[in-house]
Structure 1
Amino acid sequence: MTPYSTTTAPARFLLLGDSHAGPVGRAAKEAGLSFHGGPIGAGREFTAEFFDVREDDVVFRKPEADRYYRGFLAALGAAGLGGLTVPLVSTFGFSAHFVATLENWQVYRVRGEFPPGFLSSRLFDDIVLAMTRGALAFYRQTRALGLRVLAVMPPQRVPGHSDPAVFMAAQETIRRAVLALGVEIVDVRVRATDETGFQRAELCETNDTIHGNLAFGRMILADLLACGL
C-alpha cells in the first residue's frame, strides 16, 4: 500500500480509498497537485463494518489503515475527520467486483439465468446495500460531519471470478445510495469505456484484470479539478 501525499503547497484534498485510489494519487502527484492520502487497504476491507465512530472522528479497525489515516490527518493539521478543512475524495465501497463474485449469486439463478427483472429489483438493491453497509455508513458519517465528499466510480473492469451483469447493476445501486447521502459522484464511464461498456484498453493497468492505469487516473483528476478541487 503506497500513500501518494504531496506537500509542496497547501493540500487541496484528502484522498482515502482502496487500491482504486492509487491511479488518482499518482496522477495528482504527477501534476504537482498538493494533497494528502492514498490507498489504505484492499477493496474487500471497506464494504462491511470497518470503522468505529469516536466523537467527531472515525477509527479504522485495521491498525495499518488507521495508522495511514492518522498520518494523513496530522499532515493536514486536523485532529480528526470533523476538523478536515479540505474536501474528501474516496473510492470506498466502489470495488463492485467483490460484490459481484460469482459464488454470491448462484442461489438466485434459475437454470443458470437470473429471473427477469432481478437485477433491477428491490431485493437485489437490498442485498447489495447490505453487502456495502460499511462504506455507506462511512459516507453517512462524513456528511454528518459537514464534509464535502466526492466518491469515485470504479474502472469498468470485471475479473473472471465476478459476474459482469451483477457488477454493472451493483455499481449503479451503490452510486444511487451514495448520491442520496449528499456525496458528489465522479463518474467518467462514458469517456473511459468502449462500445462493449467496459474499460478501454489504453486505460487499463497492464497485466492486471481489475485496475485502471495512470491515464485513467488523469481522467478522474481532470473531473476533480472541474469540480473545483
Structure 2
Amino acid sequence: MTPSSTTTTPARFLLLGDSHAGPIGRAAKQAGIAFHGGPIGAGREFTAEFFDVRGADLVFRKPEADRYYRLFLDELGISGLGGLTVPLVSTLGFSAHFVATRENWQIYRARGAFPPGFLGSGQFDDVVRAMTRGALDFYRLAHELGLRVLAVMPPQRVPEHSDPEVFSAAQDTIREALLGIGTEIVDLRARCTDGTGFQRPELCEANDTIHGNLAFGRMILADLLARGL
C-alpha cells in the first residue's frame, strides 16, 4: 500500500480510508485535483477500537496506518487532526461486507431466515453500531474537533462470504448513525446500481469482488466537487 497524495498545489481535502479510498485518490490525481491522503489499511482494521485520542489528535494503533497518517499530516503542515483546515473525506467504517460476514449472523436466523422485521429492528442497529463502534468514535472525534467530514458509502458489491441482506441493512444503519453525528454522506447508490440493486458492471474493478473502479472513483470525485471541495 502506498500513499495517494498530490503535492503540487494546496490540498482541497484530506483523504483517509481503507482500500475503497483508492479509486477516489486515483480519480483526483487524474483530474489534477490537489489532495493529501489515501488508503491507510484494510477495512476490517477500522471497525472496533483502532485509535487512541491524544489531545486534539489521534494515534492509530496499527503502526503502518499511523505512519501513513503522520506522513499526510506532515504534507499538510500540521501536527494533528485538530489543525486540519480542509474537509476530511473518509471511507472508514463503511466496509459493510465485513460486518455482513455470514457466520456473524447465523445465530439470528431461524430455519435459514431472519425473523420478520429483524433487519430493520433496534436490535439489529445495536449490533451493527457495536461492531463499528471504533469508526463511529472516529467520526465523533472529527466533529468534536470542528472538522467538515464527508463519509463515502461503499461500492454495492457483496462477496460470497457476506450476506447481501445484512450488507444492505448494515450500511443503512451506519449511514444513519453518521448522519446523527453530523457527517455528510456521499451516497451514490441510486446512480451506481442496476436493476439488481448491485454495482453496475462498468463501475466494478475487474477480477475483484469488492471494489469499485476508476470510473466509480470519478463519480465520487464529481460529487465531492459539487459539494464545494
Same fold (TM over 0.5): yes
Amino acid corresponding to residue 198 of structure 1 in structure 2: F
Q: Quick one: which amino acid aligns to residue 76 of structure 2? A: L
What does 1:1-229 correspond to in 2, within 5 Å? Answer: 1-229=1-229
* Aligned equivalents of 1:76, 1:50: Cα separation in 2: 23
Q: Give per-residue Cα distances to partners, 1:94-150, cap 9 Å, x unaligned.
A: 000000000000000000000000000000000000000000000000000000000
The runs of 5 or more residues in structure 2 that have no matched partner are none
Mapped partners of 2:8, 2:54: distance in 1: 31
- Equivalent residue letter for 2:191: R
Q: Count the aligned residue pairs.
A: 229
Separation in 2 of the partners of 1:104 and 1:63? 28
Normalization by structure 2: what TM-score? 1.00
Alignment-mate amino acid for residue 120 of structure 2: S
CA drift at 1:76? 0.3
Residue type at the aligned position of 2:8 = T
What secondary structure, in the 3-state scheme, does the structure 2 residue paired with 1:89 have? Answer: strand
Q: Please tell me the residue identity of whatever aligns with 1:19.
A: S
The structural deviation recorded for 1:87 is 0.4
Q: CA deviation at 1:64?
A: 0.4
RMSD: 0.4
* One-letter code aligned to 2:27: A
Runs of 4+ with deviation above 2 angstroms: none
Query: Structure 2: how far apart are the matches of 1:125 and 1:207?
Result: 33
Other structure's SS at 2:68 match: helix
Cα deviations by residue, 1:187-207 (Å, 9 ceiling, x for unpaired): 111010001110000000000
**Residue 2 of structure 1: CA displacement?**
2.2
- TM-superposed deviation, 1:3: 1.4
3-state SS of the aligned residue for 1:82? helix
The letter of the residue matching 2:36 is: H
Secondary structure (helix, strand or coil) at the match of 1:20 reads: helix
Distance 1:50 1:93 in 2: 11
* Distance in structure 2 (CA, Å) of the matches to 1:94 and 1:48: 12
Counterpart of 1:92, as a letter, is L
Identity of aligned residues (%): 80
